Structure 1
């Protein structure tokens, strides 16, 4: 008959050996991120994409010339990413998730207003796609201001200034 403490110690020793092998092989151990942490990381990455797309458009406006292919690609990034963002604020993905986020609690406590802001942004981004497709500098400039206004309006209510 095997003693229970002997089996437990043997199992503990084997677990430690496996961890040591894993660390020696890669230097890290993969840990699955929580759904909230994944949502926060994805939405933060998406906001960076959106910022990059806005920079492409701003640089073109500042230069006085629109490169239609680049402007259309940037506008499509805004529209597609805006649509994706709407689903990346599930309950529990605020600061209480233990991951740094600039999303204010108002996102969840005033969800109807937040969702309305997201829909407004998407509508403006879709109009930017049309403006970019025109290749018209004045149309892109005007719509750039409208998209920026949609961003600012949402940030004012739902994003911490950090």
Structure 2
């Protein structure tokens, strides 16, 4: 019976360690994460919500493009929404709001370490979403589809450099 209790304890301890690592409690480089000075600033939720809305709008665009007869008015509206939200990206990343500052966020320190590259990535999304809105007005499914792919590439390019991929 003693062996079973010890075994259960070890399993529970291992599980607790694994859960802590998966929840973002541990830093990705193995070092202990910095502890935030207080509650997360509201801008962290604002930027998260902004990106969620961008993602939802992009899903709607892709959904329309899967149809034989897409609603180009809807695509243009969603592209304009993405564009307006993309213009806010730079303001959603003040200093002191990264994982390095101890906050649970997908914003990598590279955003603050490479501000010009981050600004260029955000600007690319602004530009690509504006092009998508313009092309949607023309109603050419192939052109709109190609531009939607280009806009998706702008998202991916930024994610690859500046967003924590917690699904690896």
When normalised by structure 2's length, the TM-score is 0.72
The separation in 1 between residues aligned to 2:103 and 2:65, in whole angstroms, is 36
What's the Cα RMSD here? Answer: 1.5
Match of 2:56 among 52, 57, 64: 52
Q: Where does structure 2 lack aligned partners over 5 or more consecutive residues? A: 1-37
Q: Where does structure 1 lack aligned partners over 5 or more consecutive residues? A: 1-32
The separation in 2 between residues aligned to 1:56 and 1:44, in whole angstroms, is 19
Cα distance, 1:96 vs. partner? 4.2
The separation in 2 between residues aligned to 1:160 and 1:45, in whole angstroms, is 16
| Structure-2 residue corresponding to 1:87 | 91
Cα distance, 1:97 vs. partner? 4.5
| Structure-2 residue corresponding to 1:159 | 163
| Structure-2 residue corresponding to 1:40 | 44
The separation in 1 between residues aligned to 2:152 and 2:62, in whole angstroms, is 10
Match of 1:108 among 108, 112, 116: 112
| Structure-1 residue corresponding to 2:16 | none
For each residue in 1:107-142, what CA deviation from the matched residue of structure 2 results, as whole angstroms up to 9, or x when unmatched?
A: 001111111111111111110110112222112101
Contact 2:135/2:143 (<8 A) preserved: yes
Contact 2:57/2:78 (<8 A) preserved: yes
SS of the residue aligned with 1:76? Answer: helix
Cα distance, 1:62 vs. partner? 1.0
Higher helix share: 1
Cα distance, 1:152 vs. partner? 0.5
Q: Do structure 1's residue 128 and structure 2's residue 129 form an aligned pair?
A: no
| Structure-1 residue corresponding to 2:146 | 142
The separation in 2 between residues aligned to 1:48 and 1:134, in whole angstroms, is 28
For each residue in 1:140-159, what CA deviation from the matched residue of structure 2 results, as whole angstroms up to 9, or x when unmatched?
A: 10100000000111111101
Contact 1:66/1:136 (<8 A) preserved: no
Which has more radius of gyration?
Answer: 1
